[in-house]
Structure 1
Amino acid sequence: MTSSQDSAGRWSDLDRPPLNAPSLRRALVLPDALWTSFDVVESTGSTNSDLAARADELPEGAVLVAEEQTAGRGRLDRTWSAPARSGLFLSVLLKPAVPTHHWGWLPLLTGVAAASGLAKAAGTDLSLKWPNDLLVKVAGEERKAGGILAERAGRDGVVIGLGINVTLREDELPVPAAGSLLLADAVSTDRDTLLRAILRSLEQWYGDWVRAGGDPAASGLQDAYAAGCATLGRRIRADLPGERMLEGEAVGVDDDGRLVVATEGGGTEAVAAGDVVHLRAAG
């Protein structure tokens, strides 16, 4: 005879209840709201891939959440994996009616929105590592608790994926440099509450940005990103395309969302893409 825990299998962890999809849908999919659909699946390879495949047939504002991702992806084709229901793994479909040269701000905008939403709902300070990481402090140590991946999709869409470690315990971390909201002493790890806060914050920031024509300064995005970015003022190393390496102090984020680095020779260089390592605080 099997016990109820055996029959429930991996869904028996009472510390990790499933998301309440009907309740979240009622709270988020509203008339005149950005979010037009909200779906939760038990498991999938990648929510980004799933939404991207349907980008042309879906309206803007589709949200897809997975309780578990088996082939989650980060930048540079890195994998992202975590136990089922231990985090928030979601993608949203956006179709920005702004000039495409401003679209590079979307992952930065998502970072600002996620950090501000989680600060309120989880009671945890998060900072941003350029261009797409969410950092928390665990016992005074800076650790990565989340990541963002934006990809062009279909004729006029962008799919933005967001993965956040919520209740990962120390023995479940994929690498020592990883963290979670739980380990950062969050006052709440209720994923329904956290997800609502993130998506409402994202709707607000995205709406302001679109109404400003994608202008990062006029929408307040550029200043908000700079205020929350842990990379600025730090000595960094950037591994750039073409196996080139740049080292210097990160001094700003320009109008195109590029990281401005003061180099050893006294000049500056704007980095559009690269893998950035924080070396130490400036000065």
Structure 2
Amino acid sequence: MTAPPPADARPDDPTVAVGVAPPPSERAYRRRITTEIWIVLGLSLGKSGLYAVVNIIDRLTAGPPLGDQTTTLNPSRSPRPWLDLTYQLLQVGFALVPVALALYLLSANGRSAVRRIGLDFVRPWRDLAVGVGLAAAIGIPGLGLYAVARSLGLAVEVQASALNAAWWTIPVLLLAALQNALLEEVIVVGYLMERLRELRWSVPVILVTSALVRGSYHLYQGWGAFVGNAIMGLVFAEYYRRRRRVMPLVMAHTIMDTVVFVGYSLIPAAWIAAIGLN
């Protein structure tokens, strides 16, 4: 049964006739979107950013210089292979839940979220070509920046993978690379930029915000990683602003992480040591 209209309602008010609430005000809409952003970031990369800030403070005050410390990506989670595989797959699966949430929220008006942010396969070869170009343009200078940061003691030593050797090791590393790409590009670029645009933030502020969020959750690797990823964030955010497509960014990110996670094992040990990778 429809609730009765308020006592001070006008008889000619159309919302009284149909028994529906009036549309929210602009202020209420902006407040809701702002709250939504904080929730999505709090469940995903915003949370990672806060942990990374605490982690870098911990590292800087722990005693050993930053350059003498290490961090491990993709650690093994159990000495038993089948349990390790289970943990790795669960990690990938649950990490993608915020991606699903962001896409769901962006599709609230009935429009396809994957089309809205360009996460589709309507032009796969062009997206792949752009992705390869971006991966080369960002990844190669990024390795150089990391090497410089390591030589200056501004970055920790990164162990790209500590998974036990098994038949599933490389497939899991490929899944981890894809998971990182989807999580970061969908949320920090597609979702966040769309929502900030709805809040009518200026373009420069949107670009810088996206870049700083990306840099923040890499702080645990040191200042070099923060700067490098913030620069990457600016480039990716500007590409999205111009093209409104996330798929090339996902491809570029997947390629870069694949090279780090898998490809580095094919590089001579002397080269790896020279750039500070273990």
TM-score normalised per structure 1? 0.28
The structure whose RCO (Cα within 8 Å, separation 6+) is larger is: 2
TM-score normalised per structure 2? 0.29
- Which has a greater percent of strand? 1
Query: Is the radius of gyration larger for structure 1 or structure 2?
Result: 2
